[in-house]
Amino acid sequence: MIHLRRFIVLAVLLGMGLIAVGGTPAAAQAAPLVVDADQVVYDQSTQMVEAEGNVRLRYRGIRLSADRVVFDLFREHITAEGRVVLIDAAGRELRGRRLTYDVRLQLAEMQQAETVVSRVYVRSDQLRAEPARILGTDTMVTPCDPARPLVRVTAQGIEVHPGDRLIARRASLWVGRYRVLTLPVLTISLRSSEETARSLPRIGYNTTDGFWADYSYAYAPGSLPSALYVKYGTRTGVIVRHVTSYQRSPFAFELTVGRNQDADMRIFDQAEAVLGMSEQRIGSLPLFGGASLRLGWFSETTTGVRASRTQYRLGLSTPSLALGPRMVVQAAASWTEAGYGTGDRQAVWRAGLSLTHELGPREWLRFTYTLLDVYGATPFAFDTIATEDRDHEARLLYHRTGERGPASTALSTGLAHNFRDATTSVVLGYGERVPTRYHWGATAEYNLVTSDTKLTVDVGAALGYGTYAAVSAIYHTLTRTYEDLDFTVTSRLCDCLDISLKYRHVRREFWLEVGLSAFPETRRQLLSTPP
What would the pLDDT profile of 326-353 be if each residue is shown by its tens digit?
Answer: 999 999 999 999 999 999 999 999 999 9
* Average pLDDT along the chain: 88
The neighbouring-strand residues paired with 38 are: none
Q: Which residues, including other chains, have CB under 8 Å from residue 64's CB and lie 6 or more apart?
A: 55, 56, 57, 58, 78, 80, 84, 85, 86, 87, 99, 101, 531
168/154 Cα distance (integer angstroms) = 8
Q: What is the pLDDT of residue 15?
A: 37
Domain contains 57: yes
In this prediction, what percent of the chain has a pLDDT beyond 90? 61
pLDDT category at 448 given cuts 50, 70, 90 is very high
**137-146, 213-222, 357-366, 454-463: least confident range:** 213-222
Domain count, the chain: 1
pLDDT category at 7 given cuts 50, 70, 90 is very low
pLDDT category at 146 given cuts 50, 70, 90 is confident
Angle at 376 (CA atoms; ends 374, 378), nearest 5 degrees: 95
Domain contains 60: yes
In this prediction, what percent of the chain has a pLDDT beyond 70? 91
Average pLDDT over residues 142-152: 84
The neighbouring-strand residues paired with 184 are: none
Domain contains 72: yes
Average pLDDT over residues 2-13: 47
Domain contains 36: yes
484/458 Cα distance (integer angstroms) = 11
**48-62, 131-145, 162-176, 494-508: least confident range:** 494-508
436/318 Cα distance (integer angstroms) = 36
Distances (CA, A) of 426 to 396, 413, 422, 481: 10, 8, 14, 20
Q: Which amino acid makes up residue 76?
A: E
| pTM as predicted | 0.74
Query: Which CATH number do you get for residue 20?
Result: 2.60.450.10
pLDDT category at 531 given cuts 50, 70, 90 is very low
Domain contains 393: no
Q: Is the pLDDT of residue 24 over 60?
A: no
What would the pLDDT profile of 259-271 be if each residue is shown by its tens digit?
Answer: 999 988 899 999 9
What would the pLDDT profile of 358-387 be if each residue is shown by its tens digit?
Answer: 999 999 999 999 999 999 999 999 999 988
Contact criterion met (CB below 8 Å) for 187 and 161: no
Return the SS3 of 343.
coil
What per-residue string of b and e applies to 164-181 under the rule 16 or more CB within 10 Å gives b? ebbbbeebbbbeeeeeee
Domain contains 4: yes
Q: Which residue range forms the structural domain that includes residue 55?
A: 1-90
33/8 Cα distance (integer angstroms) = 9
Q: Is the pLDDT of residue 428 over 90?
A: yes
Domain contains 343: no
Counts for the chain of helices (H) and strands (E), in that order: 4, 33
Domain contains 384: no
Q: Which amino acid makes up residue 529?
A: T
pLDDT category at 16 given cuts 50, 70, 90 is very low
